[in-house]
């Protein structure tokens, strides 16, 4: 949402100027800048192996010593070179070292076909361990575009259609998101344009114009009450009723008298409730929302979505602090966001997920990027990571047990070198085939 900025205020890199001009003083340059630090973080992360890959490689390296030791023991006891050859042809390394990266690549391919980009195996591995999911409200749980839900005339001379037509005719002169929502509502109902005088846009407050020789003023309650001396006392109960529904209200006055108000609400994603339920089924214990809305409005949405916790009236810089405080409680945190100011939280979280309509900075720093504008992909990403890790762990066990059996049989003289090689390589190819099969949905 548009906010007012005056001399001495802070603006973020990537901020859009809707009205007026802005002059900024850059406080950090070069390697000190946040974007440069994030770029370094991305570069470093690309060279990192996942923990499970490192573990399997270490396991494979240790098994080489075991194979050599068993081969030496067999030769010392039997002096049979065929037995020794049969033992040496059984190698744990192939299946252990190859199956894990093949599984990761396969699940990444499968995820990409479903509109999910995993940035490496480490992202998949970390996502499995997440037990807490934190959502930034706007652009994630909601679409970030306001819609008119209520048109409330407060005088007998205007109907709801009259009020909306008049409001839209005035609001079309502003590019504020709330104004566009009002214009869209009038367009959907095919309402006529109402002629009026020149529109004055009062930055961060509202609009002022003339209509039928009278003055129309639209905007926030603060603007009309404090600056235009409009009396709200007679309609206090009605206003409170709509505020209790979580509506953002635009008030309309004519010649100093309140004549109506428009109620708007951020549009909740259709798949939000279903996605949150799926995440709980997939083992996420706590669902949390961060928003700049008032505590009252945030609580209403929190109850509707059955969230465990809501952090309201949060400034952008507080998002990463909230994530870090949750981690200090011992939680593994996934943060889902889309904006420039979400980048620090996406970085601080154990797993950062960026929405498809998010800023370039958010997509660069996130561990997982959604390629389609659907929230359900967050649950799908968790499900795919679960599948990948289950296959990896079962592959490790299969490689251990089967190769150990083959080696024991070779050491006892039951297998020829050719048969030992056939069984070992057949096992390796079977395990790799199982991993590669994950490409297909």
User: Is 308 considered catalytic here?
Assistant: no
- In 315-361, at which residue ranges do the beta strands (DSSP E only) sit? 333-337, 351-354
Q: Within a domain: residue 36?
A: no
Phi, psi of 16 (to 5 degrees): -100, 135
Residue 62: is its pLDDT beyond 90? no
Query: Does residue 434 sit in the same domain as residue 292?
Result: no
Query: Does residue 288 sit in the same domain as residue 352?
Result: yes
Residue located via tokens 């109907």: 159
Lowest-pLDDT range of 51-60, 159-168, 177-186, 311-320: 51-60
Task: Give 326 or 397, the one with higher predicted confidence.
Answer: 326
Residues 93-140 have pLDDT tens digits of: 777 778 888 898 899 889 988 989 898 888 999 999 999 999 998 889
Q: Band of the pLDDT at 17, cuts 50, 70, 90?
A: confident
Cα–Cα distance measured from residue 322 to residue 311, given in angstroms and rounded to the nearest whole number: 8
Q: Within a domain: residue 25?
A: no
Q: Residues 267, 269, 275, CA angle at the centre, nearest 5°?
A: 155
Rg for the chain (alpha carbons), in Å?
31
- Residue that finishes a domain, picked among 251, 267, 283: 267
Q: Within a domain: residue 30?
A: no
Q: Within a domain: residue 378?
A: yes
- Residue that finishes a domain, picked among 267, 287, 307: 267
Collapsing DSSP states into helix, strand and coil, what is residue 120? coil
What is residue 43's predicted lDDT score, i.e. its pLDDT?
60
Residues 252-296 have pLDDT tens digits of: 999 999 999 999 988 889 999 999 999 999 999 999 999 887 788
Residues 415-427 have pLDDT tens digits of: 888 898 899 889 8
Query: Does residue 203 sit in the same domain as residue 258?
Result: yes
What is residue 353's predicted lDDT score, i.e. its pLDDT?
95
Q: Band of the pLDDT at 35, cuts 50, 70, 90?
A: low
8 Å CB contact between 400 and 99:
no
Q: Which of 80, 91, 136, 281 is catalytic?
A: 136
Query: Does residue 273 sit in the same domain as residue 138?
Result: yes
**Full domain range(s) for residue 177:** 145-267
Mean pLDDT of 348-373: 88
By percentage, how much of the chain surpasses pLDDT 90?
41
CB-count burial class (<10 Å; 0-12, 13-18, 19+) for 302: buried
- Cα torsion 412, 418, 419, 424: sign: positive
In the chain, the number of structural domains is 3
Query: Does residue 220 sit in the same domain as residue 236?
Result: yes
The pair of structure tokens assigned to 409 is 């049989």
Cα–Cα distance measured from residue 205 to residue 227, given in angstroms and rounded to the nearest whole number: 9
- Residue that finishes a domain, picked among 345, 367, 382: 382
Query: Does residue 252 sit in the same domain as residue 391?
Result: no
User: What contacts 67, CB < 8 A, 6 or more positions away?
Assistant: 87, 88, 90, 91, 92, 407
What is residue 127's predicted lDDT score, i.e. its pLDDT?
95
Task: Give 397 or 332, the one with higher predicted confidence.
Answer: 332
Q: How many CA atoms lie within 13 A of 342 on its CB side?
A: 32
Query: Does residue 306 sit in the same domain as residue 405?
Result: no
Query: Does residue 274 sit in the same domain as residue 318?
Result: yes
Q: Within a domain: residue 360?
A: yes
Cα–Cα distance measured from residue 315 to residue 9, given in angstroms and rounded to the nearest whole number: 14
Q: Within a domain: residue 21?
A: no
Collapsing DSSP states into helix, strand and coil, what is residue 352? strand
Query: Does residue 311 sit in the same domain as residue 363?
Result: yes
Cα–Cα distance measured from residue 334 to residue 317, given in angstroms and rounded to the nearest whole number: 17
Q: Within a domain: residue 39?
A: no
Q: Any idea what the CATH number is for the domain that residue 166 is in?
A: 3.40.1110.10
Q: Any idea what the CATH number is for the domain that residue 355 is in?
A: 3.40.50.1000
Cα–Cα distance measured from residue 129 to residue 121, given in angstroms and rounded to the nearest whole number: 13
Mean pLDDT of 359-380: 89
Q: Within a domain: residue 13?
A: no
Residue 251: is its pLDDT beyond 90? yes
What's the Cα-to-Cα distance from 193 to each of 47, 79, 184, rounded to whole Å? 60, 101, 13
Query: Does residue 303 sit in the same domain as residue 404?
Result: no
8 Å CB contact between 420 and 90:
yes
Query: Does residue 68 sit in the same domain as residue 203?
Result: no
Residue 38: is its pLDDT beyond 90? no
Mean pLDDT of 289-306: 87
Mean pLDDT of the chain: 86
By C-alpha distance, which of 423, 417, 379 is closest to 84? 417
What is residue 37's predicted lDDT score, i.e. its pLDDT?
66
Query: Does residue 254 sit in the same domain as residue 161?
Result: yes
Mean pLDDT of 202-223: 88
8 Å CB contact between 172 and 185:
no
What is residue 305's predicted lDDT score, i.e. its pLDDT?
93
């Amino acid at each position: 949402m548009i906010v007012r900025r005056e001399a001495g205020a802070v603006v973020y890199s990537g901020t859009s100027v809707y009205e007026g001009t802005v002059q900024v003083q850059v406080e950090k340059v070069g390697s000190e800048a946040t974007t440069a630090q994030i770029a370094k973080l991305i570069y470093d992360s690309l060279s990192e192996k996942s923990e499970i890959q490192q573990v399997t490689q270490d396991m494979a390296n240790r098994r080489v010593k075991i194979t050599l030791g068993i081969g030496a023991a067999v030769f010392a006891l039997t002096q049979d070179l065929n037995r020794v050859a049969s033992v040496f042809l059984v190698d744990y390394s192939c299946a252990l070292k190859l199956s894990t990266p093949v599984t990761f690549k396969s699940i990444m391919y499968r995820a990409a076909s479903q509109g999910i980009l995993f940035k490496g195996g480490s992202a998949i591995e970390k996502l499995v361990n997440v037990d807490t999911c934190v959502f930034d409200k706007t652009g994630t749980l909601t679409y970030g575009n306001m819609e008119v839900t209520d048109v409330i005339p407060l005088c007998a001379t205007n109907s709801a259609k009259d009020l909306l037509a008049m409001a839209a005719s005035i609001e079309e002169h502003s590019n504020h998101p709330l104004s566009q929502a009002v214009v869209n509502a009038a367009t959907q109902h095919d309402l006529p344009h109402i002629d009026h005088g020149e529109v004055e846009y009062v930055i961060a407050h509202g609009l002022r114009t003339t209509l039928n020789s009278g003055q129309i003023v639209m905007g926030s309650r603060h603007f009309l009450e404090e600056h235009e001396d409009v009396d709200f006392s007679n309609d206090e109960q009605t206003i409170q009723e709509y505020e209790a529904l979580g509506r953002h209200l635009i008030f309309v006055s004519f010649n100093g008298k309140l004549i109506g108000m428009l109620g708007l609400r951020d549009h909740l994603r259709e798949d939000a409730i279903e996605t949150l339920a799926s995440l709980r089924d997939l083992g996420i214990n706590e669902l949390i929302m961060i928003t700049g809305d008032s505590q009252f409005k945030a609580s209403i949405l929190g109850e509707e979505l059955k969230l465990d916790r809501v952090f309201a009236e949060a400034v952008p810089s507080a998002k990463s602090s909230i994530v870090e405080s949750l981690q200090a409680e011992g939680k593994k945190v996934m943060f889902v966001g889309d904006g420039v100011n979400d980048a620090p939280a996406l970085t601080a979280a154990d797993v950062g997920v960026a929405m498809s309509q998010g800023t370039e900075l958010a997509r660069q720093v996130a561990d997982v990027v959604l390629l389609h504008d659907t929230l359900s992909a967050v649950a799908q990403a968790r499900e795919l990571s679960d599948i990948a890790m289950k296959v990896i762990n079962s592959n490790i066990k299969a490689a251990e047990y089967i190769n150990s059996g083959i080696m024991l049989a070779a050491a006892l003289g039951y297998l020829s070198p050719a048969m030992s090689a056939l069984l070992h390589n057949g096992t390796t190819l079977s395990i790799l085939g199982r991993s590669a099969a994950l490409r297909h949905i």
